């Protein structure tokens, strides 16, 4: 490398580090409601915001300096004013950038855990997600903000399976439902469907119930705690969906696919949505796929790994079902639909 290329690379890496710092500052503002408070109250001093939110004044003062430095706040004398960029960090903004900040801090947490655990090979499992009590409450909202737009604008309109479920006013089961956003989104789109969401975490189910109630869907959507690997339901279901949940239970894929097939009505469909691990490692350099590599490191810590769409299709075939692979987001997201052959 020439001296000037080294200098150029140094500048580039330093700017990337500033990007990480800026998302760290944004995360603090999200996790403690600082952006939202400024959005609601208008220009306020750090002391006023701290008092309003019951936070420590000195910490809020330091945060306000950092948020100003990275352009999330403007200043009017002693008062802080939300900038346009800061407004975009508000979780209530329809185009919120909240998931980018939460995802960035989660990645750093996983990087730290991977750095330590690589020495022993230990894989502590999904409890690692809960180690940061500020991150965990944002996990569901992060997934919803990241993926509900893609679902509503591209996946739903382009897959016939969603028109079918709407026309037959069918029943949908969401296994590993998280905060239940997928069922809420489907219920909005398809006024006749009924849904049941299952998740292993009690907190997720409580959140899903609350959000469904707030959206007026309590009579059509129900949620319960349970394990996908032992799932059992009264009668046949028209659609079983799993979003970003299959890779959590892949170690028992034969059991899971048998459960999926056995619960399906004759003309029903299983719809599995997963990040698409590329067949060709060189694809990991593509900007849309690059984050998959970091996610997969975090998945490793949790005892999981990301799946290739063809592997999912093969599991459907082994269960006696016919798969169809659909790719979205420049190939970084896969929706695999399986029907009884
Ligand atoms: C990455 S999250 C996806 C959540 C949701 N489907 C979404 O798209 O927002 C994976 C979810 O699967 C749930 N999960 C993982 N293993 C499970 C199991 N064995 N039984 C039930 N739920 C499980 C987790 O609690 C978590 O909510």
- Give me the count of residues in the chain: 341
Instruction: Assign 260 to helix, strand or coil.
Output: helix
Alpha carbons 145 and 181: distance in angstroms, whole number: 9
Q: Measured between alpha carbons, how far is 250 from 245 in angstroms, rounded to an integer?
A: 9
Across 313-324, average pLDDT: 98
Pairing mode, strands 237-243 and 171-175: parallel
As a whole number, mean pLDDT of residues 111-137 equals 94
Pick the residue whose CA is nearest to atom 17 on ligand 1: 200
Query: Chain centroid to CA 267: how far?
Result: 30
Burial class (CB in 10 A: 0-12, 13-18, 19+), 60: buried
Distance of CA 114 to the CA centre of its chain: 20
Q: Which of 176, 295, 334 to mutate to test the pocket of ligand 1 (most atoms within 8 A of CB)?
A: 176
Pocket test for ligand 1, best of 200, 225, 253, 298 (most atoms within 8 A of CB): 200
Q: Which domains does the chain have, with CATH numbers?
A: 3-94 (1.10.10.10), 146-340 (3.40.50.150)
Dihedral sign for Cα atoms in the order 152, 155, 158, 159: negative
Pairs from 37-40 (Cβ < 8 Å, separation ≥ 24): 38/73, 38/80, 38/81, 38/82, 38/86, 39/82, 39/87, 39/90, 39/92
Distance CA 117, CA 115 (A): 6
CA 47-52-54 angle, to 5 degrees, is 90
Question: Which ligand 1 atom is the nearest neighbour of the CA of 174?
Answer: 6
Which pLDDT score, from 0 to 100, does residue 198 have? Answer: 98
pLDDT score of 197: 98
With CA atoms as reference, report the closest residue to 274 among 308, 238, 320, 298: 308
Does the predicted TM-score (pTM) go above 0.85?
Answer: yes
Averaged pLDDT, 62-74: 98
CA 92 to CA 82: how far, in whole Å?
14
pLDDT band at 231 (very low <50, low <70, confident <90, very high): very high
Sign of the torsion formed by the C-alpha atoms of 210, 211, 215 and 218: negative
Pocket test for ligand 1, best of 178, 179, 241 (most atoms within 8 A of CB): 178
Q: How confident is the model at residue 210 (pLDDT cuts 50, 70, 90)?
A: very high
Point out the ligand 1 atom lying closest to the alpha carbon of residue 143: 9
Which residue is closest in CA terms to ligand 1's atom 12? 176
Q: Which two tokens stand for residue 97?
A: 């950038």
Check residue 120 and give its pLDDT: 98
**pLDDT over threshold 90, residue 341:** no
Q: Rounded to the nearest whole angstrom, what is the distance from the C-alpha of residue 82 to the centroid of ligand 1? A: 35
Q: Which residues line ligand 1 (CB under 6 A)?
A: 143, 176-178, 181-182, 199-201, 204, 227-229, 243-245, 248-249
Q: How far is the CA of 39 from the centre of ligand 1 (A)?
A: 32
CA 10 to CA 336: how far, in whole Å?
42
Which atom of ligand 1 is the closest one to the Cα of 231?
20
Q: Is residue 18 over pLDDT 90?
A: yes
> CA-based angle 44:46:52, to the nearest 5?
75
> By three-state DSSP, how is residue 224 classified?
strand
The alpha carbon of 110 is separated from its chain's Cα centroid by a whole number of angstroms, namely: 15
pLDDT at 129: 87
Other Cβ atoms closer than 10 A to 18: 11
The pLDDT tens digits of the residues spanning 23-58 come to 999 999 999 999 999 999 999 999 999 999 999 999
- Cα(179) to centroid(ligand 1), Å: 9
User: Which of 199, 226, 306 should be mutated for ligand 1, with most atoms under 8 A from CB?
Assistant: 199
Ligand 1 centroid, distance to 76 Cα (angstroms): 45
Q: What is the pLDDT of residue 233?
A: 87
Residue 202 CB coordination number (10 Å): 9
Residue 235: pLDDT over 90: no
Mean pLDDT for the stretch of residues 106-116: 97
For residues 21 and 48, give the distance between their C-alpha atoms in angstroms, rounded to a whole number: 25
Instruction: Look at residue 130 and tell me whether its pLDDT is greater than 90.
Output: no
Q: What is the rounded average pLDDT of the residues 93-119?
A: 97
Confidence band, pLDDT 50/70/90 cuts, at residue 234: confident
Please tell me the residue having the least CA distance from ligand 1 atom 8: 243
């Amino acid at each position: 490398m020439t001296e000037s290329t080294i200098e150029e690379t140094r500048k580039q890496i330093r700017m990337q580090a500033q990007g990480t710092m800026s998302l760290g500052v944004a995360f603090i503002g999200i996790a403690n409601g600082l952006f939202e408070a400024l959005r609601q109250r208008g220009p306020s001093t750090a002391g006023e915001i701290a008092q309003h939110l019951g936070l420590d004044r000195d910490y809020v003062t330091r945060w306000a300096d950092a948020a100003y430095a990275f352009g999330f706040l403007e200043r009017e004398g002693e008062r802080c004013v939300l900038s346009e960029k800061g407004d975009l960090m508000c979780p209530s903004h329809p185009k919120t950038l909240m998931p980018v900040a939460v995802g960035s801090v989660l990645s750093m947490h996983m990087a730290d855990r991977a750095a330590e655990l690589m020495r022993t090979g230990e894989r502590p499992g999904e409890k690692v997600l809960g180690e940061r009590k500020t991150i965990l409450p944002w996990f569901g909202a992060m997934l919803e903000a990241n993926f509900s737009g893609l679902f509503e604008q591209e996946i739903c309109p382009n897959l016939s399976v969603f028109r079918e479920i709407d026309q037959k006013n069918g029943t949908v089961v969401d296994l590993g439902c998280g905060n239940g956003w997928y069922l809420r989104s489907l219920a909005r789109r398809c006024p006749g469907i009924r849904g049941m969401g299952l998740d292993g975490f009690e907190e997720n189910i409580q959140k899903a119930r609350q959000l469904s109630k707030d959206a007026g869907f309590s009579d059509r959507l129900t949620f319960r705690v349970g394990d996908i690997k032992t799932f059992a339901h009264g009668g046949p279901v028209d659609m079983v969906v799993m979003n970003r949940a299959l890779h959590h239970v892949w170690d028992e894929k034969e059991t899971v696919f048998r459960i999926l097939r056995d619960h399906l009505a004759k003309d029903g469909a299983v719809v599995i949505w997963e990040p698409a691990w590329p067949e060709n490692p060189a694809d990991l350099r593509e900007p849309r796929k690059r984050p998959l590599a970091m996610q997969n490191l975090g998945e490793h810590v949790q005892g999981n790994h990301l799946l290739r769409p063809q592997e999912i299709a093969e599991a459907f075939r082994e269960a006696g079902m016919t798969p169809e692979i659909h790719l979205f987001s420049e190939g970084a997201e896969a929706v695999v639909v399986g029907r009884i052959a």
